[in-house]
Every structure is written in structure tokens, then in C-alpha cells.
């Protein structure tokens, strides 16, 4: 069933799949980007903040380290000055009394205890350098700038020295942070005289110098009074004036405050602050935001293009696969649908699948209907089979109750269907004898599978409704249904078969009762059957029943089966002769041999032959009798010649005037004539004498010539010269010479008789011999006599037909018998020019 054409596609369905996939790819790319964009900037900002924090910390650490290093440089300078030889030399003669209250010695220029060389170079000069005695009292003051010595120092230095004993001390003096660096001072003898102290105000100059010119992006450092949250000094007093509060500074700066670990001695809570201008941070933040924007754009582009590309490639691939699926389905279903070359394959395929499902539904419905029809047909077929089956077909359930019963069963057993259904099969159909056997068979069928058809057949005795008992052949076939087991029983009334078997058995007796031999041999020549009359034959062959025939006969059996034709032969025993007819039964591969005792027939034939010989002899005698006069004359001639020669010899002997030569000649003639006479008599005897027929190969020309010489006298007497037209070559034939001579003699004699009836000058007798077709020898006797009337022609060869007064009418009959005995023919015909022509055809031995 062809699929319907898809409906006209809607706009969305007409959009090609690649375009649609690009649109979906765009949408998905944007969606994913939008989702990720929610998360990414936050992460980026937090990374930025962390990074900023780290960098601020790092920067703060660096500024502090630079500050510390700077302080360390001052400390080193203090140590250098305190341990300088110039100071030691200066102090050598000096002695500071404890109770001295003199004002400390003031210097405005370089004091004598300081080396004149430039010490400060990159360092900011301290405001003062003090020499203190061991009690902390200031003994000498060197003022390096304009700044006066802070008043707090004048009285409290001892306190600073005695308590801390640290080299560097950070403290506030009059609201200004100061760095006080003290170092032990000794005189040249090594006596500790006191201390050398550097007093350095930590002001903007100091702080700026401490950073050694490293101040990226306007970063400031400052000293923070942590308790009061105000700055005491900064590296740029304009941007961050002293005494500014932390909160105020934080509006412009990001402040990182660190404790001074090096200067723990200070009682003040001073902290080192690193101030990064907010403008710098904001600029950095702006840069990061710009970067972030660019990144977002790149991400958006990447997502959109990747998704679009992936969707496009996937859709292109999918499109191809769908096209292939469609084509395959199209080919598989032999459908012309769907049209798949354009439009969105997914929708096309969806349409197509809808239609395909519909088609499947329709087909299923069709199949269901077809199945129903087939079931119906099958049911009808089964019904027809059941109704027309020649066998009784009965179906029983597991309990043996009849559930199906066909019309043949109705006819066979006499119970109608309604009557039989629901009855127990074994009880209804079998008598007491067969019932247990059937139950056993049923059990047997259940227990064994895969039986040969023959093994499934059983013969039992069934009972008809009227009580008549008859034999049945039965086969049981179990039917294993889904939930139950049933048996179909095929039954066949075999009464007829039994009767036919009996008949066959009785028929078979025919053969055994036959007085003639009847045998059956198989292809290999084994005697399968031989009736009682075959014993003589079996003993002749020297074999028994169930044995094989002699080799010659086995070959004949094979030949006959091969050719499929009957073969007849004779078997001659010592006292019997059998005619055997061998008939092949090709289909079964048997040869039946039917024998017939023909001993009596053969004996009769032999006797008939003897009679015939006798007859031939008599006929010959009769012929010879007729020729006796001629023969006497024939004999007379040599005998007269003998007498003449004998008389002549006597006279010559008496006269004695002649020589012995003449006498010898005469005696020679006597001998020759006597031989001739003897020859004639010998031939006569041969003709007249009784002898058993002997066949030998002889030249027919010789035989004819002999006969001619034999009748020479008779012919001469009739005034006929026998013309001998013999073939040049020899014509060998296997004949009984005496008999063939008898035939020729008879023909010539008849011819001479016929010639006597016409004037002497018209008489002619010709004897011809020739070869015919290489296989036959033809002998013709032609005379110019009166001939034979057409009416008489048919009777010529009848016994006792004669037109002669003294004739016997047996000559031609015997002649034909002899010639046919030689497998030849003899015929007579009228010559056109008058006269008769007798023709004899004899088989030649030339060709053999």
C-alpha cells in the first residue's frame, strides 16, 4: 500500500534543516553564554579582589622591608661612628663626672669625634648626633640641621637607654615620630664611656627616602598612630598631611597598616602604613573591567560559533543519515514516499513516520483480515479434508474423549458424529480384546517421539455399531497444543486389504502349482523364487534356491534388465528340452523366468525331419528311376568303350604284329572308361544312397557343373544343349551337396520336360550362377519351354500338383523344403520371351 503524500509543509517545516540548526545553535550558544556570564564576572571580580589584596599586602610588605632596610642603614652608620677610632681617641682623655650639670657641649659643625668623610650619601641626615654618658646624660650634641633637639630628649634619654638598650628605637617626640639609634662608645683603652646616639625625625623626607625612590603609582607610606587612628607622618605631606585621621585618608587611599616587629621596645602603638591611591586601584579595576568585557565578547562569540558549528555539522550529518534511512525505508517498503530531497528532514521524516505508522496499522489490519481469511480457509480446508478423507479421522483429548469425528468414521463405524462426540474413544470403537492394546499404544506414543511412519501403524480389531468386528489399521499422532494435549487417530478399514492379501496368497499358489518351471531372480542373479517344477533346471544350473545363477545366465539377466526386452532360449538337458522365456520386471529389478517342457515337441520335430529326409530320398529315387534309361545309356558308353578296347587288345595280342604300345594305350583307355563308369555309379549311389545330411562349404559352380554332366545324356536326347553361364569366381555356400544337386536336377528335368513340348529348334536351357549383393548366391534355370499358366503358378509348390501323366507332383515341394532348410528361397516366374525361370537364392559364405 503506497504512503500518502505528505501534507503541504508549514513554513517552519520548509526551513532547511541546516538553517534551522544554525538558528538553534545561535540560540543555544547565546543561552549558554548568558548563563555562564552570570557566574564568570563574579568569579573574575573575586579573583581581582583577591589579587588586589595580595598585591596590596605584598606592596605593604615591600615598603616595610624597604623602610626596615633604610633604618638598618642608619643603624650601621651609628655603629660605624661609635666604633670609629676618632671617637675613641677623642674620649681617651675625657672623663664625665656623674654630678656634672654643665650644659652639654653643642656643635654646629662637625665635632672632633666624627670623621670628616661624607657618611650619609643616600641617607637622610639625622637631626642630631648625641654623645651620652653611661647614665644617659647628654654630654655632647651635634646639630646637623635647623631642627632643635626635642625637649623630651633632654631629660629622658637615660630612660630610653636604660630600659631598652636597643639600638633602634621608634618613638614620638612632640607629636613627631623619631628614630633613636644608640651604640656603645668606648675610649681608646676600651673603657665604656657611654653611647653615641643618632636622632632622626621620621618625617616626609625620611619616609620618602626610606622607599629609595620606589613609589609606583603614587603609593605613599606613613606612620600611623593606631590608637588614635591618625597619621603622624607620611612620605608626601601634601597628599597626606600629618595628623590626618585614618578615616579621612581612606577616602582617597587604600591603607594597609603593619606593626613594626623590629622596634618592639616602643610603648607607642605605631604602625607602618602603605597607602595606595584609590584612583590607581580604580584605574586598574577599569582595565580589568575592559578586559572582562572583551573576554565576555570573545566567550559569547566562541559559544555561539561553536554551538552553531556543532549543530550545523550534526544536523548535516543527521540529515544525511535521515536521508539514508528514508531511502532505505523507501526501498524496503517499496514506497515512493517520502519526498526527502528538500525541506527539513526531521519534519519530513516525522510526517513520513506518521504515515508509516498508519501504513503499519493498515497493513496489520489487512494482515489480521488475511489471517482471519486464511484461518477460515484453513478451517474449511481442514473440514474438507476431514470430510473427504478416505480414512476415519478421530481426535481425542488427553482423557480419551472424542472431540472430533469425521464423516468417514461415521460410515466406517456406524456412529453418527453427535453420538460419538463426548464418548470415550476406546470404549466406543474397540472390543475387550483391542481396548487394552490401544491404551498401551497411546501411552507408548506419548513416551516416544520421532518414530518412523511404519512404526506408527498398528493393526487392531474394531467394532461397528451393529457389533460387526473388522480389522483396522491405526496411526496415532499426538498434537501438543499450547495448554493441552490431544491425539489425532487415523483409522483405515483393512478388511479389503486382508481379503486381497488372501487372494494374492492364493494367487501365489498358481506359480507353485504350475507344472512348468517358474522362477524369479534379482538383478544380481540370485534365485528369489523357484517353484517345484524348476528342480530339473536348478540341478542343470547346479544351484539351489537363494543361490546365484551360473555366470552366463547372470550376464543374460543383466542384459535383459538393461534392454527391458524379453529373451527366449532353449535349454537342452540329457533327457529334456526346456524353452525358457526371460521377462524383465524393470521397475522392481527382477527377471521372471517361465519354462516350458518342449522335449515332446522336439522329438516330434525330429521325427518329422526324418520323414522329410525319407521323402527327399524317395523323391530322389523316383527321379533317378526316371533317369534310369538315360543313366543306362550313360553307363553303356564307357562299358562299350571298355569292351571295344578289350576286344581290340585281344585282337592285337592275337595278331601280335603290333607293338605293346598300342595295347598299353588300349588298356589305358579301358582303365579310364572303367573309372568313368565307376564314377557315374559312385555318383548314382551317392544320389540314390541313404545318407545323413552333411553340410559343407562347396562352390555352387562346381555343384551345377556336376549336375549338368549328370543330365548331359538326357539333354542330348531332348536335343538341348545346356548353356552354362557361371560366374567367373567361386561362389561358396554351406550346403548339403547331394540335396542341392537333387534340387537342380529336379529343375533341369522339369525344364527338359517342358522343352519337349515345343519344336526342337526353339529349345534352349540356360543355367546361370551369380552373386547377389555380396550375401547371396543366385542360381537360375531358364528354359524356353511352354511355360506355366498364371493360374497354375500359385499351385506349383503344392504337393501332388502335376500336369504330367506320370508325374508325382512332389519335386518342387521337396525342392522348396530343401532350399528353405538351407535358409534360402526358390521362386518361379514366366519369362517375357516365353518359358520359365526358376531362381534359387542361397546365403553365401563369402561375406562371413
Q: Which stretch binds ligand ADP (CB under 6 A): 179-187, 301-309, 493-501, 749-757?
A: 749-757
- Between 299 and 615, name the residue whose CB sits nearer to ligand ADP: 615
**Three-class SS state of 187:** coil
Among 201, 222, 517, 785, indicate the residue that binds ligand ADP (CB under 6 A): 785
State the angle between helix axes of 628-655 and 660-688 in degrees (0 to 180), rounded to the nearest 10: 160
Among 803, 823, 825, 847, indicate the residue that binds ligand ADP (CB under 6 A): 803
> Cα-flanking dihedrals φ and ψ of residue 727, to 5°?
-65, 155
Q: Which stretch binds ligand ADP (CB under 6 A): 280-288, 527-535, 589-597, 744-752?
A: 744-752
The length of the chain is 848
> Judged by CB under 6 A, does residue 796 bind ligand ADP?
yes
Q: How many residues line the site for ligand ADP (CB under 6 A)?
A: 21
**Three-class SS state of 731:** coil
> Judged by CB under 6 A, does residue 807 bind ligand ADP?
yes
**168 DSSP 8-state letter:** E
- Between 390 and 791, name the residue whose CB sits nearer to ligand ADP: 791
> Judged by CB under 6 A, does residue 811 bind ligand ADP?
yes
The separation between CA 416 and the C-alpha centre of its own chain, rounded to angstroms, equals: 56
With vertex at residue 576, the alpha carbon angle to CA 574 and CA 580, rounded to the nearest 5 degrees, is: 120
Extract the C-alpha cell encoding 216.
609606583
Whether the CA torsion 219, 224, 230, 231 is positive or negative: it is negative
> Judged by CB under 6 A, does residue 765 bind ligand ADP?
no
Q: Which stretch binds ligand ADP (CB under 6 A): 202-210, 268-276, 443-451, 778-786?
A: 778-786
Rounded Cα gap, residues 370 and 346, in angstroms: 34
Contact 6, 355 (CB under 8 A): yes
> Judged by CB under 6 A, does residue 722 bind ligand ADP?
no
**296 DSSP 8-state letter:** H
Task: State the chain's maximal CA–CA distance in angstroms.
Answer: 249
Extract the C-alpha cell encoding 56.
596590596
Among 233, 704, 812, 826, indicate the residue that binds ligand ADP (CB under 6 A): 812
Least separation in angstroms between CB 839 and ligand ADP: 12
Place of cell 508509516: 356
- Between 104 and 807, name the residue whose CB sits nearer to ligand ADP: 807
> Judged by CB under 6 A, does residue 783 bind ligand ADP?
yes
Which has the closest alpha carbon to 716: 633, 839, 812, 624? 633
- Between 127 and 815, name the residue whose CB sits nearer to ligand ADP: 815
> Judged by CB under 6 A, does residue 105 bind ligand ADP?
no
What residues contact residue 244 under an 8 Å CB cut-off, 6+ apart? 230, 231, 234
Least separation in angstroms between CB 699 and ligand ADP: 25
Contact 123, 205 (CB under 8 A): no
> Judged by CB under 6 A, does residue 310 bind ligand ADP?
no
- Between 673 and 746, name the residue whose CB sits nearer to ligand ADP: 746
> Judged by CB under 6 A, does residue 732 bind ligand ADP?
no
- Between 472 and 765, name the residue whose CB sits nearer to ligand ADP: 765
Least separation in angstroms between CB 610 and ligand ADP: 22
Q: Which stretch binds ligand ADP (CB under 6 A): 298-306, 332-340, 477-485, 795-803?
A: 795-803
- Between 275 and 828, name the residue whose CB sits nearer to ligand ADP: 828
> Judged by CB under 6 A, does residue 830 bind ligand ADP?
no
> Judged by CB under 6 A, does residue 648 bind ligand ADP?
no
Which has the closest alpha carbon to 18: 320, 351, 352? 320
Q: How many CB atoms lie within 10 A of CB 596?
A: 15
> What is the per-residue binding string for ligand ADP in 49-78, x denoting contact by CB under 6 A?
------------------------------
Contact 645, 667 (CB under 8 A): yes
> What is the per-residue binding string for ligand ADP in 609-628, x denoting contact by CB under 6 A?
--------------------
- Between 735 and 796, name the residue whose CB sits nearer to ligand ADP: 796
Q: How many CB atoms lie within 10 A of CB 657?
A: 6
Among 476, 788, 841, 842, indicate the residue that binds ligand ADP (CB under 6 A): 788
Among 750, 784, 817, 844, indicate the residue that binds ligand ADP (CB under 6 A): 750
Terminal Cα-to-Cα distance of the chain (whole angstroms): 84
Whether the CA torsion 45, 50, 53, 59 is positive or negative: it is negative
Q: Which stretch binds ligand ADP (CB under 6 A): 183-191, 396-404, 688-696, 747-755?
A: 747-755
203 CB burial (10 A radius; 0-12, 13-18, 19+): buried
> Judged by CB under 6 A, does residue 808 bind ligand ADP?
yes
Compute and round to an integer the Cα radius of gyration of the chain: 82
- Between 299 and 786, name the residue whose CB sits nearer to ligand ADP: 786
Least separation in angstroms between CB 838 and ligand ADP: 7
Least separation in angstroms between CB 616 and ligand ADP: 13
Q: Give the DSSP H/E element, type plus range, for residue 291.
A: helix 278-333
- Between 96 and 801, name the residue whose CB sits nearer to ligand ADP: 801
- Sheet harboring 457-463: ordered strands across? 402-405, 392-397, 485-493, 469-480, 457-463
> Judged by CB under 6 A, does residue 819 bind ligand ADP?
no
> Judged by CB under 6 A, does residue 801 bind ligand ADP?
yes
The site for ligand ADP (CB under 6 A) is made up of 746, 750-751, 754, 783, 785-788, 796, 801-804, 807-812, 836
Amino acid at each position: 500500500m503506497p504512503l500518502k503524500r505528505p501534507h503541504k509543509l508549514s513554513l517552519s517545516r520548509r526551513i532547511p534543516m541546516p538553517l534551522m540548526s544554525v538558528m538553534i545553535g545561535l540560540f543555544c550558544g547565546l543561552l549558554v553564554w548568558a548563563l555562564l556570564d552570570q557566574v564568570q564576572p563574579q568569579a573574575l571580580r573575586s579573583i581581582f579582589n583577591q589579587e588586589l589584596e595580595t598585591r596590596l599586602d605584598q606592596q605593604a610588605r615591600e615598603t616595610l622591608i624597604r623602610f626596615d632596610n633604610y633604618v638598618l642603614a642608619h643603624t650601621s652608620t651609628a655603629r660605624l661612628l661609635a666604633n670609629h677610632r676618632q671617637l675613641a681617641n677623642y674620649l681617651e682623655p675625657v672623663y664625665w663626672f656623674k654630678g656634672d650639670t654643665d650644659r652639654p657641649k653643642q656643635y654646629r659643625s662637625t665635632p672632633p669625634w666624627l670623621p670628616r668623610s661624607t657618611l650619609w650619601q643616600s641617607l637622610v641626615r639625622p637631626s642630631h648626633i648625641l654623645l651620652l654618658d653611661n647614665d644617659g646624660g647628654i654630654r655632647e650634641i651635634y646639630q646637623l640641621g635647623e631642627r632643635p633637639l626635642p625637649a623630651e630628649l633632654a631629660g629622658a634619654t637615660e630612660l630610653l637607654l636604660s630600659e631598652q638598650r636597643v639600638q633602634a628605637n621608634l618613638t614620638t617626640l612632640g607629636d613627631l615620630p623619631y628614630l633613636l639609634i644608640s651604640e656603645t662608645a668606648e675610649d681608646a683603652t676600651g673603657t665604656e664611656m657611654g653611647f653615641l646616639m643618632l636622632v632622626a625625625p621620621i618625617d616626609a623626607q625620611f619616609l620618602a627616602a626610606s622607599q629609595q625612590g620606589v613609589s609606583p603609582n603614587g603609593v605613599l607610606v606613613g606612620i600611623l598612630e593606631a590608637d588614635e587612628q591618625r597619621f603622624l607622618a607620611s612620605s608626601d605631606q601634601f597628599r597626606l598631611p600629618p595628623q590626618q585621621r585614618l578615616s579621612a585618608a581612606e577616602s582617597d587611599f587604600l591603607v594597609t597598616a603593619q606593626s613594626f616587629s623590629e622596634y618592639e621596645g616602643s610603648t607607642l602603638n605605631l604602625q607602618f602604613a602603605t597607602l595606595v591611591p584609590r584612583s590607581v586601584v580604580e584605574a586598574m579595576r577599569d582595565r580589568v573591567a575592559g578586559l572582562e568585557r572583551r573576554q565576555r565578547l570573545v566567550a559569547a562569540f566562541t559559544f555561539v560559533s561553536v554551538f552553531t558549528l556543532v549543530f550545523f555539522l550534526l544536523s548535516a550529518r543527521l540529515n544525511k543519515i535521515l536521508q539514508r534511512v528514508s531511502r532505505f525505508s523507501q526501498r524496503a517498503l517499496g514506497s515512493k514516499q517520502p519526498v526527502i530531497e528538500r525541506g527539513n528532514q526531521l519534519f519530513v521524516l516525522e510526517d513520513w513516520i506518521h504515515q508509516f505508522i498508519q501504513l503499519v496499522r493498515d497493513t496489520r489490519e489487512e494482515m489480521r483480515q488475511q489471517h482471519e481469511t486464511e484461518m477460515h480457509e484453513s478451517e474449511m480446508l481442514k473440514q474438507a479434508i476431514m470430510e473427504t478423507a478416505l480414512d476415519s479421522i478421530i481426535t481425542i483429548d488427553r482423557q480419551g474423549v472424542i472431540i472430533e469425528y469425521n464423516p468417514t468414521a461415521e460410515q466406517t463405524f456406524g456412529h453418527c458424529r453427535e453420538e460419538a462426540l463426548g464418548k470415550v474413544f476406546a470404549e466406543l470403537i474397540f472390543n475387550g480384546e483391542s481396548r487394552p492394546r490401544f491404551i498401551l499404544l497411546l501411552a507408548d506414543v506419548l513416551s516416544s517421539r520421532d518414530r518412523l511412519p511404519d512404526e506408527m501403524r498398528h493393526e487392531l480389531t474394531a467394532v461397528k455399531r451393529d457389533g460387526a468386528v473388522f480389522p483396522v489399521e491405526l496411526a496415532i499422532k499426538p498434537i501438543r497444543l499450547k495448554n493441552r494435549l490431544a491425539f489425532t487417530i487415523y483409522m483405515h478399514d483393512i478388511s479389503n486389504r486382508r481379503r486381497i492379501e488372501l487372494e494374492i496368497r492364493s494367487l501365489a499358489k498358481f506359480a507353485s502349482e504350475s507344472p512348468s518351471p517358474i522362477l524369479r531372480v534379482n538383478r544380481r542373479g540370485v534365485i528369489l523364487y523357484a517353484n517345484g517344477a524348476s528342480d530339473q533346471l536348478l540341478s542343470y544350473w547346479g544351484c539351489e534356491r537363494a543361490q546365484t545363477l551360473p555366470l552366463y545366465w547372470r550376464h543374460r539377466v543383466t542384459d535383459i534388465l538393461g534392454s527391458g526386452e524379453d529373451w527366449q532360449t532353449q535349454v537342452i538337458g540329457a533327457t529334456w528340452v526346456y524353452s525358457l522365456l526371460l521377462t524383465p520386471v524393470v521397475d522392481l529389478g527382477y527377471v521372471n523366468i517361465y519354462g516350458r517342457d518342449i522335449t515332446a515337441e522336439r522329438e516330434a520335430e525330429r521325427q518329422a525331419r526324418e520323414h522329410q529326409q525319407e521323402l527327399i530320398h524317395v523323391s530322389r529315387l523316383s527321379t533317378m528311376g526316371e533317369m534310369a534309361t538315360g543313366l543306362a545309356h550313360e553307363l553303356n558308353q564307357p562299358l562299350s568303350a571298355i569292351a571295344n578296347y578289350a576286344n581290340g587288345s585281344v585282337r592285337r595280342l592275337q595278331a601280335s604284329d603290333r607293338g605293346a604300345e598300342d595295347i598299353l594305350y588300349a588298356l589305358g583307355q579301358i582303365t579310364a572308361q572303367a573309372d568313368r563308369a565307376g564314377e557315374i555309379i559312385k555318383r548314382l549311389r551317392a544320389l540314390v544312397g541313404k545318407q545323413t545330411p552333411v553340410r559343407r562349404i562347396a562352390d555352387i559352380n562346381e555343384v551345377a557343373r556336376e549336375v549338368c554332366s549328370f543330365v548331359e545324356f538326357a539333354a542330348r536326347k531332348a536335343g538341348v544343349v545346356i548353356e552354362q553361364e557361371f560366374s567367373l569366381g567361386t561362389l561358396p555356400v554351406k550346403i548339403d551337396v547331394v540335396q542341392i544337386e537333387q534340387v537342380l536336377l529336379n529343375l533341369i528335368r522339369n525344364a527338359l520336360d517342358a522343352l519337349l513340348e515345343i519344336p526342337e529348334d526353339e529349345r534352349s536351357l540356360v543355367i546361370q550362377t551369380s552373386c547377389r549383393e555380396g550375401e547371396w548366391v543366385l542360381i537360375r534355370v531358364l528354359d524356353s519351354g511352354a511355360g506355366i499358366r498364371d493360374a497354375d503358378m500359385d499351385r506349383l509348390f503344392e504337393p501332388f500338383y502335376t500336369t504330367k501323366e506320370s508325374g508325382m507332383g512332389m519335386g518342387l515341394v521337396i525342392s522348396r523344403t530343401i532350399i528353405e532348410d538351407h535358409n534360402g528361397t526358390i521362386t518361379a516366374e514366366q519369362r517375357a520371351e516365353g518359358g520359365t525361370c526358376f531362381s534359387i537364392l542361397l546365403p553365401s559364405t563369402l561375406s562371413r
